[in-house]
Structure 1
Amino acid sequence: MRTMKKVAWLLTSTVLVFTLIYGVIWIGDSPVLAQTSQEAKGQFVRVDGGGKTLVAVTDNGTEQTYPVADNVWVYRNNTKAGLTDLQKGDTLELILNSKSQLAYIKATAAKAAPVQQPEQAPAAAVTPPPAAQAQPQAAPMASQTPATGATAPQATAPSVQTAPVTDGGWPWKRLSLELKSRELTLKVKQEQAASDIYVQTKDHAVVHLKGTEAEKVLQLLLQGLPAERGAWEQALKQRLAVQFMLKDASPEWKVEVDWKDAAASSVKITPADAVSKPQPEPRAKLQEQQIERFKEMEKGKEKDKQKESKGKAKGHPGRGNDDDDQGEDD
C-alpha cells in the first residue's frame, strides 16, 4: 500500500510539474495573441539617466516619465533618428511594449517661431495711417498657415489608413514578412483591409500594432527603398537588419508578396510624409496660366505668319500685272 501511495504521489507531482512548465511556456509564447500595445502622446521635455528614461508633458500639463527600451526605435520628422536628436517642445507619439517601456518614438518638430512673428508686426504697425493698418491684419492671416502646417502630421493618420485602398497606396494585395534571429522575432502582415506588426525582443518584450498605427510604422520602414523589385527585397532585409540592430549573421527570413501588377518590375510606395507635402493649388494654377499664355503666344505667332503670307500673296499678283502692262506697252 505504501509503495502504491508513493507511486501515486510521484505521478501526481510529475503531472503538476509538467503542467506548470507547459503553462510557463504557453504564457511566454502567448504575446502573439496579446492585445495591441499601449500608446501615448505628449511633448518632449528631456532624456534622463543617460537615455534610460524620457520625460514628456501630457495633455493634462503634467510631466510623465517613461522608461526607454534598449532597442527603442526613434523617428523625427519621418527620418530615422536617435534620442539625442529630440528637441524640447517636439510633439511625440509613443508606443510602449509589454513591459511598459518606450519601444517606438515618433517626434515632430514644433513650429513655434512662425507663430511669434505676427505678434511683433502689429506693434510696429500701430502708428501708420489707415492704409497701412491693413498690414497687421494680413500678418496674422499669414501666421495661420504655419499653424495649420504644424498640425499636418496629425492629418497623415487618416491618409495612411486609406492609402492601401487607393491606386497610390500599397503596390501589393498582400504582404507577409517573418524575421527570426537571436535578437528578436518580427512578423508583418499587410492586406487591403488590415495591417498587423508584431515584434518580440530577446528579453520577451512585445510590441503589437494593428490598423492605422501599424501602417504608419510600415510606411516609415519601407520609405526610400529601391523601386526595382529585384533589389527591393534585399534592400528591405538590409533595412530591417540596421533598424533593429541585428548582430545575428544568419537570421531566418520569409517574405511573400502578392503583387497587384505581376508584370511590373518596379515598386511604388507612397512616402510617409507625402500627404503633408502636396503640390499647392496656387502653383498648379500658375502652371495652368503659363500654359494658357504659351498657347496664346503660339496662336499670335501663327496669326502673324498668316498675315505675312497674305501680304506676300497680294504683292506677287501686283508685280505680275505691272510686268504685263510693260509688255503691252512694248
Structure 2
Amino acid sequence: MPSPRAAARAQSHRAPQLDEIAAFAKVAELGSFTAAAAQLGVPKSTVSRAVTRLEEGLKVRLLHRSPRAVALTDAGRRFFGDVAPHIAGLRDAALALDAYQGQPQGLIRLSAPPDGGESFVGDLLVDFCARYPLLAVEVDLSSRQVDLLREGFDLAIRATRELPDSSLVARKLFDSDVQLFAAPSYLARRGLPRAIDDLMDHERVVFLPSSRRGQWPVGDARSVRDALSTGRIATDNFQLIRSVLRAGGGIGPLPRVLAAPDLASGRLVHVLPEWSQRAGTAYLVYPSARHVARNVAVFRDFALAWVKRLA
C-alpha cells in the first residue's frame, strides 16, 4: 500500500481530464460560467467544479473570478491558447463521426429483370449512389422470380400484368407502355410512316416472346397485327431491339421507360404516337415487415421519387 506522501505526490501530478479542459475552454471562450453551463447543457456548479479540479491538478490558477466577471490569468491565457485548437479538432471529429453514422450505409441486394435493367435500373443506380455514397448496391439481372427471403435479396423490381398474392409489399413504379421508335437516320432514309399500315413498307424490328420463337413469317398482309408482329429481325429482348433501332435498323417497339434516355438525347424518335400497348406494370417489392430496414426504405423512397421524373 503506497505511503501518504507517495499518494500526495501522485495526486499532485494527476493528469487533467478531458471534461475539465473542455469546461475551462468553454468558460474562457464565453467569459462566463453561466453561459458555458448553458451551452454545455450542464448545471453551472458542474462547470465550476470541473475548472476547480483542473486548477488543483495543474497547481495553477487559470481564471480570476469575481461576482461580476471571469478573466483569464496569464497562465490561463497560455493554457487556453494551447488547448483551444485541440478542443475544436475533437469537436469537429465528433461531428464528422456523427454525420457519418447518421448516413445510410451498407449493402443493398436488388433483383431486376434483364429487359430494362441495363438502362433504366442503371440510370437509377447511378443517381442513387451519388446521393448515398456510403451505400453499395449488388444487382442480379434475371428473368426468373427470385425468392427474396431465401436468397437474401432486399428488394426486387418486377414487371408483370398481374402481381400474384404474396407476403411481399408491392409499390407501383410505373405502367410499362410499349410504343414505336426509330432512329433519325432511318427515318431520313426511309421516311416517316403516317399510319400503322405504312409500317409494311418499312423494316420492322419485332418483339417476339420466347413462346413464339420460329413462328413468325415475313408476310405481305396489310393488317395491324401483321405490321407489328412480323419483320426480318425478331427477338424476345428489348435491349437488343433498342440497339438495332439506334443503329438505324428499322422501326420497332420499346417500353417507354427504356426509350426515355434515347428520346431525351435525340438518338430515337417516337413514331406513330397514336399507337400504344400496355405491357404490364413495374413494381418494387420487398419482404413485409412491421419495421422496414432503413436501407430498404431509403432505396424504396428514392426509386419512387426518381421514376416520377420519367412520367
TM-score of the aligned structures, taking structure 2 as reference length: 0.27
TM-score of the aligned structures, taking structure 1 as reference length: 0.26
